[in-house]
Structures are given as C-alpha cells and as structure tokens.
Structure 1
Amino acid sequence: MSKQHNAVYLDGAGKPFRVGPIDTKSPGKGEVLIRNKAVAINPVDWKVQDTGFFIQSWPAILGEDLAGEIVDVGEGVTRFKTGQRVLAHSHFLWNKTLQHASFQDLALVPEISVVAIPDSMKFEDATVLPLAVSTAAAGLYQSKKETCLELDPPSTSPKKSGKTILVWGGSSSVGSAAIQLAVASGLDVATTCSKKNFPLVEKLGAKPFDYNSPSIVGDLVAELGKGSFAGGYDSIGTRDSSMQCAQVITQLGGGILTSTLAPPEDMPADVQGKSVFAVTIFYGDNAHAGKAVYEDFLPEALASGQFLTVPPAEVVGHGLEAIQDACKTQKAGVSGKKIVVTL
C-alpha cells in the first residue's frame, strides 16, 4: 500500500478546495481504513468551507459520507474484513486527525459507524445514507434527558406501536432516513414535502402533506391525532419549519421537537426543542443508538431492501477535483436528490 494518498484540503474560511498528498495512516484500535469509491455532499460541507465553523486548525479536510472497500482493519475489529464493500459515517468533526474525513482517497473510520452493503448496491447509492441516518437516529433514539424522542429501536420485523410522529421535510436526506427509521420502529409517520415528492415519501411508508397548503397545521393535527403522538422531527431546521412544527405539537397537547438545527428560543412553552449532533449516537450514554441502527438493523435492512437508499444520488462528477463544483451545486439548492461524486 502506498504511504500517501490524495486528499481535498481547505486552507481557510472562504478558500477554494485544493487536492494534495497526505500520509496514509494505518487504522488504530477499533478502526478500519476504507478506499473511497463515492462521497456525498451535505450542506454542512459548503457551510464549513464558507465560514470555517467547527474548524480549529488549518488546513482541514471535510466530508462525512462515504462508500467504498475496506483495505485494512485495526486491532479489535471483528465485524469487517479487507475487501468488504461498506458505507460509513466519518467523524471529521469529532476526531482530530485529517485522515478521519471522507474527502480523500482513503479514510479512517471507527468500526461503530460502518455498515456492510450488498454486492448489488452501487457505491454512489450507498453514500447518500450515512450522515442522514446518523442525524435522524440522534433525534429518534437518544435518551429523553437529551430532549430526544427515545423511540424503540428499529426492527426488520416491526410491530405497530399505535404511535404517530411528525417528520417535517420528508423528501430531504435526513427526512427520508427519519421516516424509514420511524416506520421500522412501528410508528405511523405524517410528513411534509412538495407535491412532486409525494411518491417518494409514500414509498418510504409516510403519509405526505403539502407544506405549502394553508391548512397544513390543521391537516397534520388531524392525522397525527389518530394515534398516540410521540413527537416531531424537523429535518429542515429553519425558523419557519420549527415554528410550524411547534404549532402542531401544541395543538396535540405539547411534546418534544428534535431538529437538525437549534430551534428558535421563542417556541411555545409546551414544546421542548433540541438540536441534534449526528456523531453523538456512537459515544457515551447514547452509544446504544448507534449500535441499534448501524450494527443491529441496517445490515439486514439494506440486504433485504427494507431500507432504501434515498433520496436518489445525482452524480455530478468524478474524482477529488470535482468536489468543489459539487459543493457549489449543493449550495445552489437541491430537492429530492443527493449530490454525489465518484472516486
């Protein structure tokens, strides 16, 4: 194996990406080394590039979503072997080394956030899932002391719980994952999206509602009131989406709203709002959530076709040099798809 590989560097806030060499490190205890075949672009990537938010030292390497083949395993790794096809959630915002990020040819990833994928699954399809799944799971399965919903873990043979949940923004990558996980936990899901994305969310098992409808709040209250309301998940994270979710929750008697971004401080008193940080499902008191999803559920659910790789991948380029334009495409706005670069 070469002692170096190429990576995409960011030298400072507002700087363009550049491709250059980086030392290839062997995986440490509990880690695997993956040769990336596809990476996906998330809003956090261009936001960090623009603002430098989260970055403590330069240069930095970004990227969370990847799919590829394992080329080496570290001490104590038992679930994977070299040559295995996987998807993975890299921890660049958690770990301190540049090698723990996806925008490079080879990436170090903790075993706990890696999932084997079927031979029939394309790498570009698999890479749409990791960060979205982790972000959704952080809101759905962490403990209530973290002001999350603490649902029963997902199952490949779920039983109806009689509970209902609101997922705002069901056609987004996080929303799509939240729907599928909630359905696998036995809940009935009501979700919002544009009319053109109704078929997508219906395929995932949710009942869609047009977020542009003037009666959206009342329509959602009527639907969610048919069962025991478990809470809301705002996968959009804007002030408008959070406040509309809060209106629904208030009319249903109050409850918890988890969100991809911090909810407004002036939400109704009977709504407990909390933002989530995806990587927390793998550590500490909430590690049970990561295990329940990445180890106990996803491998079988992906193999059987129960869990779908949605929104669909839109491959916009090949090679590390294409990541800059891919981030620009994501920043310009996408709907019902995820931007992907193959490697």
Structure 2
Amino acid sequence: MTPTNSAALLTEPKAHPLKVESTPYPTAADGEIIVKVASTAINPMDWYIQILGEQLFSWLQYPYIGGSDVAGTVVEVGPNVSKFKVGDRVSGLTAGFDARSGGFQNYVVLKEKIVVSIPDDLEFTEASVFPLGISTAACGLYQKDFLALDYPSVDPKPNGKTLLIWAGASSVGTNAIQLAVASGYEVYTTSSPKNFEYCKGLGASRVFDYNSPTVTQDIIEAFKGKTSAGAYAIQIGSRKPVFEVISKVEGNKFVACAMEPADVPEGVQAKMVFAGTIKDNEVGSLIFDQYLPAALAQKKFQCLPKPLVFGHGLENIQGAIDLGKSGSVSAKKIVVTL
C-alpha cells in the first residue's frame, strides 16, 4: 500500500503562512532514493523565496515545496542505485526546486550522489544541519571555476597557504572552515566576539571582529608573509572588505561569493556560488562519497551549527522560518522534526 504524503507548501508566490496539505507520494527515478524525513532544517533561502517570490526566482512552479536539508530513513531505492538500501539512515541535500524534492514534506526524493549514510549514534536533528551548508561551502572551495583548493582528507597535511572566510559562525562558514582545515589550509575568519571560540573550535587560526572599524586593515596586516589561497565572502555586505583584503595580499586573488559580486577591483576575480551545481560535477562525489563517510565515522567532521529544535510536525515549519527571518538566532541551525 502506498504511504500517504503531506507537505508544508507555498500555494502561490509570497503566500503566508505555508499550508499543510496532502501531496502525491513521489516515485524514485534512475539514481534516486525516497527518504522518510525525520528532521529538516531552515535556511535563509526559505524566507527569501517566501518574501520575494517571483522577484527572486521567476521560474518556480507553484504550489512550491521548500526545504534543502533533510535527514531520515531510506524507504525506497530507484533503478541503478548501489550506494543505499532500504532502512539506511541518511542525510542529504534536496538540490531541486520542484515538489518532488522539497524537504518540507514527509517523503522526499533525493539524488544518491548528494546523500551520505550517517553513523547510528548521530541524531537525525544533528544530521540535518549540514547538507546545504557543506554543499555551498564545497562549491566555492573546490569547483574548478572557483577557488579550486586541494581536496579534504581525514588526515590533512599543511600546505602553507592561508584562506580568508568572512562569517565563520554562519552555516556556510562553519562548514567552509572545517573543509579548508581538512584540506591543509590555515584559515582566517570573522565573527562577532561571542563566536570567537566557536570559530577556533572549528579550526580557524585567527578570528577577527567583523564590526571592528579596523578589521580590514587588521586582516591585511595578518596576511603579511603569508600566501593567500583566496577568500570566501559569505555575509551580506562583506564583498567590499573581502575584495580590499584580497587585492592587497600575495597569492590567489579569487573570491567565492555567497551573493552576486559587484564593484570588483581590478586584479581580483569573483563569482557567485550556487550550491545546486554540486550535483552536476565531481564535487558532489568528493564530499558525499569520499570525504564525509570517513569524517563522520571518525568524528573528524562536526555537524554544526548545533540544531535548535523549533517543534515537531509540518505545521511548525512556518514558525521556524519566521524565527530564522527574525535574525535572533546565532551559531545555531533551526530544525523541525517530522
């Protein structure tokens, strides 16, 4: 008997609140699995889509099901899937913008390439915090047309280069620091002072207060005698200081941006990251097949930011989105259990 499926969906552009309704149970195509969602996380994209609608993505189809991060149990495997079997506990990136692959539903389709098995002692709430964060981080760090860094390993060797990551306590920053350190890079990052120790615990060697009036000059000074591996500008408003730093240091002058680059100085290259591209190139397999399984099993990768469980059930998705939109949550990832 086919299970019944429900979702928290946007019935039309800018609709508020999301409506919980019955939706079709999905079918797994080639290379896909169906996962019964146990935990799903909230991301800025979820409230931006709700607020801006067609101004942000004119091509979205409605009713629209959001949600990029899920953890749960495999209930079905599609043709040519060898990586997973029914009953496996997994975490994955939805990476689609259609009803089949939105995480805010009980049953979701995932592409096996961007899913990882999780250890038995890892809670689903913890496992749902990282897929979009690590995917966005990895796209900027490893894709050949971005920073093209050395690949991560559970036993990295220092390579003598220094990477700047602006907004280290953010979800993307949290994952980017861990990946860069696992790739052998020294990491400089920024945060508010209350998150300095958090960033150092991820492996950053220096943390700067991004609200300091001298932050740009302080980072340029710290880079003296160092070789730049480039930078990742994550926080809104960080392009200008990051471009200034990178224009004045020795080494790679490429900046991966979590937003559209603007006013890029001469001699600096910059490009916007889109996490979904990870499913279309070698970086998806690099992260979800080669790095994460061993790193999770050996506790070399921390599932952070820590989950802040907002509630249980699809009816709590809207409240969780509203909490994220309020900007009152720092160094935590809002999740809802299903």
Task: Report the residue type matching 2:79 in the other structure.
Answer: E
Task: Report the residue type matching 2:31 in the other structure.
Answer: G
Match of 1:250 in 2: 247
Match of 1:224 in 2: 223
Q: Are 1:271 and 2:268 matched, yes or no? A: yes
**Post-superposition CA distance 1:2-50 (Å, at most 9, x none):** 3431111101122120011111123111001000000000000011011
Structure 2: distance between partners of 1:174 and 1:22: 31
Name whichever of 217-226 and 165-174 sits farther off: 217-226
**Post-superposition CA distance 1:55-91 (Å, at most 9, x none):** 4321111110000011111111111111111110002
Q: Helix, strand or coil for the counterpart of 2:99?
A: coil
Match of 1:199 in 2: 197
Structure 1: distance between partners of 2:244 and 2:302: 31
Q: Helix, strand or coil for the counterpart of 2:21?
A: strand
Deviation of 1:227 after TM superposition, in Å, equals: 2.8
Q: CA RMSD in A?
A: 1.3
Which aligned pairs between 1:293-304 and structure 2 lie closer than 5 A? 293-304=287-298
CA contact (8 A) 2:139 2:274 kept: yes
CA contact (8 A) 2:32 2:81 kept: yes
Structure 2: distance between partners of 1:9 and 1:149: 36
Which of the residues 87, 91, 100 maps onto 1:87?
91
Task: Report the residue type matching 1:62 in the other structure.
Answer: G
Which of the residues 283, 288, 293 maps onto 1:289?
283
Q: Are 1:178 and 2:176 matched, yes or no? A: yes
What are structure 2's unaligned runs of at least 5 residues?
none
Which aligned pairs between 1:142-221 and structure 2 lie closer than 5 A? 142-143=143-144, 146=145, 148-206=146-204, 207-221=206-220
CA contact (8 A) 1:8 1:17 kept: yes
Q: Are 1:14 and 2:14 matched, yes or no? A: yes
Deviation of 1:92 after TM superposition, in Å, equals: 2.3
Match of 1:338 in 2: 333
**Post-superposition CA distance 1:173-201 (Å, at most 9, x none):** 00000000100110000000011001111
Deviation of 1:317 after TM superposition, in Å, equals: 1.0
**Post-superposition CA distance 1:196-227 (Å, at most 9, x none):** 00111111100211112222112212333343
The two structures have a TM-score, normalised by structure 2, of 0.95
Structure 1: distance between partners of 2:298 and 2:222: 30
Runs of 4+ off more than 4 Å: none
Match of 2:323 in 1: 329
Task: Report the residue type matching 1:191 in the other structure.
Answer: T
What are structure 1's unaligned runs of at least 5 residues?
none
Structure 1: distance between partners of 2:151 and 2:190: 23
Residues 70 and 226 from structure 1, CA distance in 2 versus in 1: closer, same or farther, beyond 3 angstroms? farther
Deviation of 1:158 after TM superposition, in Å, equals: 0.7
Match of 2:304 in 1: 310
**Post-superposition CA distance 1:236-275 (Å, at most 9, x none):** 1x2x3110001110111471111111122x1211221111
CA contact (8 A) 1:190 1:224 kept: no
Match of 2:105 in 1: 104
CA contact (8 A) 2:308 2:333 kept: yes
The two structures have a TM-score, normalised by structure 1, of 0.94
Q: Helix, strand or coil for the counterpart of 1:167?
A: strand
Residues 125 and 243 from structure 1, CA distance in 2 versus in 1: closer, same or farther, beyond 3 angstroms? same
CA contact (8 A) 1:3 1:23 kept: no
Structure 1: distance between partners of 2:29 and 2:264: 44
Match of 2:62 in 1: 58
CA contact (8 A) 1:165 1:232 kept: yes
Structure 2: distance between partners of 1:225 and 1:44: 37
User: How many correspondences in the alignment?
Assistant: 331
Q: Helix, strand or coil for the counterpart of 1:296?
A: helix
Q: Helix, strand or coil for the counterpart of 2:100?
A: coil
**Post-superposition CA distance 1:107-165 (Å, at most 9, x none):** 0000001011111111111111000011001100001xx3x100011111111111110
